[in-house]
Amino acid sequence: MTRKNMGIAGLAMPVMIAMLLMFAVARSVAANGEPSAANVVKIDNFVFEPQTITVPVGGTVTWTNSDDIPHTAVSTDGVFKSKVMDTDEKFSYTFTKSGTYSYYCSIHPKMTGKVVVQ
Ligand SMILES: [Cu+2]
């Protein structure tokens, strides 16, 4: 290796380590700050996806409206009720008791889904 190459390697190493550290920090922020992808119900094309979602007791489910028309998520038993979600709006609810929670879209009642808390 020439002296010039050694210089580049010596500079590149700390930069790479710094980038790796920044990547690790960004990842841990995403893991703690945002709801995990597993607890997200996406609404698109008049469908709740996944139609049945299972979360632990104390888990939070976040509904995200990815459709270009408004939807809601309303518990059949009145446990939770979102406001009307326009495109890209979200609604979250934390489930503190185990059970099966059926819900539907009050604007389009044929849209149904289920949250299983266990
Ligand atoms: Cu709807």
Least confident of 37-41, 81-85, 86-90: 37-41
69 Cα to the center of ligand 1, angstroms: 8
43 Cα to the center of ligand 1, angstroms: 8
70 Cα to the center of ligand 1, angstroms: 6
In whole angstroms, what is the distance from residue 35 CA to residue 22 CA? 21
DSSP strand pairing (60-65 vs 40-44)? parallel
Q: What DSSP line would sit under 26-51, residue for residue?
A: HHHHHHHHSPPGGGEEEEETTEEESS
pLDDT tens-digit series, residues 19-75: 545 555 554 444 445 556 679 999 999 999 999 999 999 999 999 999 999 999 999
φ, ψ dihedrals at 81, nearest 5°: -155, 115
Other Cβ atoms less than 10 A from the Cβ of 71: the count is 27
96 Cα to the center of ligand 1, angstroms: 26
User: 48 and 90 in contact (C-beta within 8 Å)?
Assistant: no
Q: List, in order, residues 6 or more apart from 32 with CB less than 8 Å away.
A: none
pTM for this structure? 0.70
For ligand 1, an ion, list residues with CB under 5 A.
71, 105, 107-108, 111
100 Cα to the center of ligand 1, angstroms: 21
